[in-house]
Structure 1
Amino acid sequence: MTSETQQTESVTTGTETEPEGLRNLIEGARVVLWDFDGPVCRLFAGHSAERVARDLVDWLEGQGLRGLLDESERESLDPHVVLRAVDRRHPGSDLVAELEERLTQEELRAAGSARPTPYADPLVRTWTAVGARLAVTTNNSPRVVREYLTSRGLLPCFAPHIYGRTQELRYLKPHPHCIHRALNAMGAAPPTALMIGDTPSDFQAARAAGVPFLGYARNERKNKLLREAGAGFVVDSLEPVLQCVREAGQA
């Protein structure tokens, strides 16, 4: 595992200077909405998401349902692509419910070997300590999120505001449904919130909801994808975010 001190600490922004832009995002955030797999942890660090996707495809084929997926969907390395594809063709069906539960069980197994994102734990605790309210808005199962946060002693920082995948799969991000649920439950206006995510779908959901966005990219590929999607602020380490939160709390 890469140590926290080895993490790059740069911030990519649009037109503002780097420190000023990050400070403005953080100081304006009364509510912080976290994507889960990426900003909080690497859920599949020890339990391959690619293998999970293949297992879902194999299970469908074992049920005689190979024709439900086209070739690109069968070759996908993302289990959510498989799940969405089946839901588009049989929305709300028992088949979709079974497939979603299979994915949830795989995510639960993955949670045991999930790797905390460097600086995420102290950032969560510090943001809570200075008075921000936190929520999780994710395409993962809320059961998985609760299990992981409990194992890290972080659940009180978020509970009860955990908004994850339901069987209404059309509401997965980039649909802003989970963000709207969080804002409504917390009584927060979009401009007073901040979404932290690591995928274009996170950015698109935040933009649709009118919520400022901070991208987290642990590698160049993710950085490029976020920037191409239109994200104006991207960090490749949460350390500068933690520093800004600490400074804001001392001001």
Structure 2
Amino acid sequence: MTPDTAQTERVTVETDILRELITPVRYVLFDFDGPVCRLFAGHSAERVAGDLVAWLERQGLHGLLTEEERVHPDPMVVLYAVNRRHPRSDLVAELEELLTRQELKAVPSAMPTAYADPLIRTWSAMGSRLAVASNNSPRTVTDYLKARGLDDCFTHHVYGRTGELDRLKPDPDCLMRALRALGAPPSDALMIGDAPTDLVAAERAGVPFLGYARNDCKEKQLRDAGAQVVVRSLEPVLRVVRGQA
């Protein structure tokens, strides 16, 4: 067997797996930051995390975070940490609003994920019902979708972060809200996510899962978490949806 033949056979097998996963789908739940866009592509997430830490320090709460949490590049880690220690408090509400404002600032410089826009439009045009199920603020998601002209594809079905931060993914709450609003049986839906938390939430909701990984690290995280189907590009997904593969 030549290398070209092996590559062709591998692509054929992967396409068959994708087709088997995608063909029965009538409802698609997208995670936002990753499968739809890179929200902080032009507005550093690390800087946002640092801003949240600095705000806490100005409130005299420097000791609220561990050293690891204080230097973590993901602002959600800071928010989770504060919520664990002061769940559903005014402090958490203020910090969450600060994060939301930073997310909204990031929208104009967010980088669309390759093939995401045509995939969303194609699935919508073919009659599939779409929703976003995200740990980001629904205000952020809505602003981005409107800016890209994609909001009509989702018809207001955006289910994001609420004041109940303990119900963020991996809790399936946002997926369950989306399924209920769509009237969707979990087995007829598909969750597209790029993180182990997306996979766990989908499993808890009984929804089949498709992993999207933009690099080796993301793919390893998903595979290690148990994801069975992971793509490095949405292009083969688009080809299957269009019936071109």
Any idea what the Cα deviations from partners look like across 1:87-133, whole Å, max 9, x if unmatched? 11111111111100000000000001001000000000000011100
Match of 2:24 in 1: 28
Q: TM-score, normalised by structure 2?
A: 0.94
Secondary structure of 2:242's match? helix
The amino acid that maps onto 1:210 is G
Picking from 78, 82, 89, the partner of 2:78 is 82
Match of 2:193 in 1: 197
Higher RCO structure, 1 or 2 (CA under 8 Å, sep 6+)? 1
Q: Distance in 2 between matches of 1:28 and 1:188?
A: 13
| Offset of residue 51 of structure 1 | 0.7
Match of 1:107 in 2: 103
Q: How many residues align?
A: 237
What do you get for the CA RMSD once the two structures are aligned?
1.7
Q: Distance in 1 between matches of 2:13 and 2:233?
A: 17
The amino acid that maps onto 1:74 is R
| Offset of residue 159 of structure 1 | 2.2
| Offset of residue 75 of structure 1 | 1.8
| Structure-to-structure mapping, 1:216-227, within 5 angstroms | 216-227=212-223
Q: Distance in 2 between matches of 1:79 and 1:167?
A: 16
Secondary structure of 2:35's match? coil
Q: Distance in 1 between matches of 2:156 and 2:55?
A: 34
| Structure-to-structure mapping, 1:161-172, within 5 angstroms | 161-172=157-168
Structure 2 residue 171 is the aligned partner of structure 1 residue 175: yes
**Structure 1 unpaired stretches of 5+:** 1-9
Match of 2:36 in 1: 40
Match of 2:3 in 1: none
Picking from 132, 145, 150, the partner of 2:141 is 145
Any idea what the Cα deviations from partners look like across 1:195-250, whole Å, max 9, x if unmatched? 000011111110111100000001111011000010000000000000000008x9
Match of 1:6 in 2: none
Q: Distance in 2 between matches of 1:50 and 1:159?
A: 32
Secondary structure of 2:214's match? coil
Q: Distance in 2 between matches of 1:133 and 1:186?
A: 7
Q: Distance in 2 between matches of 1:204 and 1:96?
A: 24
The amino acid that maps onto 2:191 is M
| Offset of residue 17 of structure 1 | 2.8
Secondary structure of 1:106's match? helix
